[in-house]
Amino acid sequence: MASFSSLFLSFFVCVLLCLFGSQATEARKINPISHLVSKELFDSIFIHKDNDACPAKGFYTYDSFIQATRCFPKFGNIGSLITRKREVAAFLAQISHETTGGWPTAPDGPYAWGLCFKEEVSPQSNYCDSTNTQWPCVPGKSYKGRGPIQLSWNYNYGPAGKALGFDGLNKPETVSNNSLIAFKTGLWFWMTVQKPKPSCHDVMVGKYVPTEADLAANRTAGYGLVTNIINGGLECGIAGDGRVNDRIGYFQRYAKLFNVDTGPNLDCENQKSF
């Protein structure tokens, strides 16, 4: 388990990024995401996130999202305006699927109900990988899906907590109790390389360089590869998987709102998982 000093150092580094990270990017913006995603656009994307039917009502605020992005100055800030918009749209689409409260005949359509949940309902286990000794599970704690990306498993909670300054192993529930940390965990997962997987960020901004294994597995760049990174073991390599189609539906809706195209390779039907 990480020491208090290492956790504090990681938290301090994140705070420095929040305060000064945007100054290290091009001078075109103090906070690039607030220029790409206004409060009005955010509200038009997440029409029903504060509906009474959503357990996460009032949790996922615009201010928390914008503040969280300050710790990740490269998010939505690499490449052309189209590339930057497409990355943000892709991120918001993926977290929308992970937290969806939509259904086929839902008001405003099935893709207007993102960010409806802040933690997994009826988890099948406590998501403890007992073989992982680097990030050992704490007895009695559940590492079920929480937050916008539905962070899961001890081997994700541990390093996310270390990077972001909270005790992910002892207090995983922090992710569903703190809106800012919740968004940070989603962005942490999006931006972090976890070999052999590339980061979702690198894929969406064109920095993904496939290995021989990737080429053999047909892991081509595009939104489908992002889905593979997030949940490929359960969703990829399957013809017409409904979960994959839901992710795509959200992305297509959001891309239109951002006035960009989605790019190629939207699904991972012909990809092998990592």
Q: What is the pTM of this model?
A: 0.90
* 12 occurs within a structural domain: no
Same domain, residue pair 134 and 266: no
The confidence score (pLDDT) of residue 61 equals 98
pLDDT in tens, 21-76: 433 333 344 578 999 999 999 999 999 999 999 999 999 999 999 999 999 999 99
Active-site hit among 98, 119, 120, 235 = 98
Residues with Cβ < 8 Å from 56, sequence gap 6 or more? 49, 99, 115, 116, 117, 118
List the structure tokens of 163: 């990077």
The domain of 168 spans 118-178
The enclosing domain of 172 has a CATH number of 3.30.20.10
Same domain, residue pair 171 and 216: no
Compute the distance between CA of residue 158 and CA of residue 165 in angstroms, rounded to an integer.
11
Asked if 167 and 175 touch (Cβ cutoff 8 Å), the reply is no
Phi, psi of 93 (to 5 degrees): -65, -45
Same domain, residue pair 92 and 102: yes
Q: Would you call 98 a catalytic residue per the annotation? A: yes
Same domain, residue pair 91 and 210: yes
Asked if 142 and 123 touch (Cβ cutoff 8 Å), the reply is yes
> Could you give the 3-state DSSP secondary structure of residue 20?
helix
Same domain, residue pair 200 and 173: no
Please check the confidence at residue 2 and state whether its pLDDT lies above 70: no
Same domain, residue pair 98 and 39: yes
Residues with Cβ < 8 Å from 239, sequence gap 6 or more? 269
Same domain, residue pair 168 and 211: no
